[in-house]
Amino acid sequence: MRVGVIGASGYAGAEVLRLCASHPDLDVVVASGESNAGRLVAEHVPALAGAYPSMVFEPTTNALGTELDVVFLALPHGQSQRFVPDLVTRGVMVVDLGADFRLKDASHYVTWYGEAHHAPELLASSVYGLVERHRDELAGARLIAVPGCYPTASSLALGPFVDRGLVASRGIVVNALSGASGAGRATSDRLHFSRLAGNAEAYSLVTHRHTPEIEQEIHAELIFTPHLVPVSRGMLVSAYAPITTSGFSSEDAIEVLLETYANDPFVVVSDQPPTLKDPVGSNLCFVSARVDPRTGWLLAMSSIDNLVKGAAGQAIQAWNVATGRDETLGLPLTGLTP
C-alpha cells in the first residue's frame, strides 16, 4: 500500500512513520511537515534514520498530490477538514488522527472547538476507530476517525460498566495524567523544562475538548480533568462512578473486564492497578477496577502510551481491521522496561 503521512514532523506523525517502518503492508512514499519542508526526516527525527535515511519532508499540498492508497493525517484540529473531502472524492482511504471527524453532532464543534465544521456531511460516514468497541463497523471503512488518547483510555476503562448498566450514566468523574508529548511538539511556557520538571498541573478545567468525545462514546455524562505530568510518554486514568447494582464486588468488576476483552489482543486485564509506564512503547492498554463497598462507587483504571495506543498505533490497528488484516500486524505487543 502506498502511504502518505501528513503532519509527519509532529510527535504523532513521527510515530506513524516509526510504526509503518515495521509494517509489512504499509509503504510510506511521502511525508509532509509544513514547517520542515525540504528537511531530511532523519535530521528532524534521528531515531528514524535507519528506516528513512533519504526521505525529505514535503509541503502538504505536494504530498497530497502524490498517488496514494491511504493517507494518515496527523494535523492540528481544523486542518484535516480542508483535505478530507477531496481525498474521499478521489477514492483515497483516510485515517485521521485529529479530532475533525470524531464527533457526530456538528454543533459540538462550535461548542467545544469554537468553530463550525466545514465538512459536516462526512461526519455520518466516518467510523470511530476504537477497535475494541467498533470492530464490526470498521470493516471496509474508508474514513476513520482515530480516537483521542484520553477518550481511548477512559472509554476502555469505563465502557464495559456503563454498557451493562452497572454504574450510573451521570455523576461520573474522570481524572487523567498525561506525559508532555500529548501536548504536541510545539513549545509553550508550561512545557519548558524549568516549569514542567518536578511539577504536576491540571488544565482545561471543565472545558477539555475530549469531554464530549468520551460522553459520546460511553453514552454518559461526566466531569473530566486532565493533568500534565513531567514524563515524556504515558497516560494513567482513574475514573469513578456510582454503582447501580447491589452486591457488585471488585471480583465481579474484574470478571466484567475479563469477559469484555477476552478476544482483544491489546487489552491487558489485571487485578493489580496499572502504572503509567506499563504500556510505554506498546499498543497495549492495561485496565483494572475496584469496588468500594463503603461508598458504593466503582474505581476503573487504565494506562496507555499516549502516542501509540493513544494515536499512531491505534490508527494502524484500525486500518488493519478496516482492510481485513490481523489487527496486531506491525504493532508492538510489548512495552519497554525498565
CB count, 10 Å around CB of 323?
17
Nearest to 80, CA basis, from 129, 40, 117: 117
Q: How far is CA 122 from CA 125, 144, 163, in A?
A: 5, 11, 27
Extended beta strands in the chain, E state: 2-6, 27-32, 70-73, 93-96, 127-128, 143-145, 172-178, 201-202, 222-228, 235-242, 267-269, 285-292, 297-304
Q: What count of residues does the chain have?
A: 338
- Residues marked active site are found at 149
Nearest to 19, CA basis, from 328, 285, 235: 328
Buried-state track 176-201, b at ≥16 Cβ within 10 A, e below 16: bbbbbbbbeeeeeeeeeeeebeeeee
Nearest to 225, CA basis, from 157, 172, 161: 172
On whether the CB atoms of residues 278 and 303 are closer than 8 A, the answer is: yes
Cell digits of residue 101: 471527524
Pairing state between β 172-178 and 201-202: unpaired
CA distance 243 to 299: 10
Nearest to 58, CA basis, from 83, 77, 41: 41
Cell digits of residue 124: 455520518
What are the beta bridge partners of residue 292? 297
